[in-house]
Structure 1
Amino acid sequence: MLRVEQLSHSFRNAQGRIPVLHNIQFEIAKGEMAALLGSSGSGKSTLLHLMAGFMKPESGNIYIGEQDIVRMNENRLAEFRRKHIGFIFQSYELIPNLTIRENVELPLAFQRISASQRKKRALLLLEQVGLTDKTELFPSQLSGGQQQRVSIARSLIPEPSIIFADEPTGNLDTQTEEEILSILSRLNKELHTTFVIVTHEAEVADQMGRIITLKDGYLMDEQKLQTVR
């Protein structure tokens, strides 16, 4: 599903080139739920944005399915992201003047899908994340955990091949964090959607099926767990 090959990247500032990632290589199979674990400055956020197609690497390849997104031009990449990549933000990134249902429908607005079909799918996904009674409310009327559930539903609506989550529980208390992780695990099992979850918390990573660790821009050890706890 996801294959990263010899990926390196750096940023430039007034002082020169600052290496961030060094020859990263790994694969994630279809339906896996993997954690990308690292402390601040490890390069995990840069790697996440490269894999999601928000940035281009200096060198290397990123395959989603059989498609190398590094070689795509901007128009083709934008279209590929809309259809095949879902993203869950730490800060939810909901549009405040749209209802919960409208926020979830939004990724389908640029596709040839009727309004009735968009609404039907949004309502189904909101039911799956436990928000059936909140569909016509606005983001400001929801708690942080409920807003993150909306973000999860929105990431799933285009039926993507893979979902990237950037510290999805970083703004939540411990109990709500457990609820969100439980929802992600259940959806992974039910929908067989591939999840890559970036976190700096070992406790979060331990609940994934696999852990990929970054340190100072280098790929460290991998841990593949027999069962997802």
Structure 2
Amino acid sequence: MLRVEELSHSFLNGNETTAVLQQISFNVHKGEMIALLGSSGSGKSTLLNLMAGLMKPTEGQIYISDHNIVEMSENRLAEFRRKHIGFIFQAYELISHLTVRENVELPLVFQSIHPSIRKKKSLALLEQVGIPDKAELFPSQLSGGQQQRVSIARSLITEPSVIFADEPTGNLDTKTEDEIISILKHLNQTMKTTFIIVTHEREVAAQTEKIITLRDGFLVTEQEAAQDQLQAGGILIEN
């Protein structure tokens, strides 16, 4: 469903080139829920932006549903994102003057979908995420966890091929974090939607089917990731 091949990316700062990602390759199957795990500076945010078509890589290819997004023009890519890619943000990114229902419907407005269809789909999704009674409220009237539920519903409204969740629990307390992850897992299982969750939290990553770990711009093996985890816990590893 999503295929990353020999992906590398560098940033030019004056006369200096800084390599951020180097020779990244992996596959994500349709309906999988995976975690992209890495600490700050590991390159995971850059990789997310590349996979979502928000940036062009220095080298390599990215396929979503057999479409090579690297080779698309900017106009074609923008249209592709609207139809095939959903986003869940750490900071929710809801529009304050729109109601909950209107926020969820917004991606369909850009596709010129009839208002009655938009309303029906948005209310059904708000039911799915457990806040059907909040449809006519405004974001400021909701808790952080409820706002994230709205963001989740909005990401699903276009029935995308893949949803990228960028630190979706980063602003939430532990209890609410567990609730949000449970919702994502339920939606993944019932709607067969592919989720890629970008996180620095091992507890969040551990609840997904597969973990892809980045360190300093490189993919690391499961053994190396396990060693990192042990070292982070203060356990000495002998060679």
Structure 1 stretches lacking a partner, 5+ long:
224-229
Q: How does 1:5-154 map to 2 (within 5 A)?
A: 5-14=5-14, 16-154=16-154
1:185 corresponds to 2:190: no
1:169 corresponds to 2:172: no
Give the Å deviation of 1:222: 4.5
- Give the residue type in structure 1 aligned to 2:29: A
- Give the residue type in structure 2 aligned to 1:174: T
- Give the residue type in structure 2 aligned to 1:191: M
SS at match of 1:50: helix
- Give the residue type in structure 1 aligned to 2:174: T
Q: Which runs of 4+ in 1 moved over 4 A?
A: none
SS at match of 1:25: strand
Alpha-carbon RMSD across the aligned residues, in angstroms, is 0.9
Aligned equivalents of 2:40 and 2:111: distance in 1?
37
Structure 2 stretches lacking a partner, 5+ long:
224-239
TM-score (norm 2): 0.92
Aligned equivalents of 1:178 and 1:5: distance in 2?
33
Give the Å deviation of 1:112: 3.4
Percent identity (aligned): 72
SS at match of 1:91: coil
SS at match of 2:221: strand
| Contact persistence 1:97–1:138 (CA under 8 A) | yes
- Give the residue type in structure 1 aligned to 2:69: I
Q: Could you give the per-residue CA deviations for residues 126-161 of structure 1, whole angstroms, max 9, x where no partner exists?
A: 010011110000001101000000000000000001
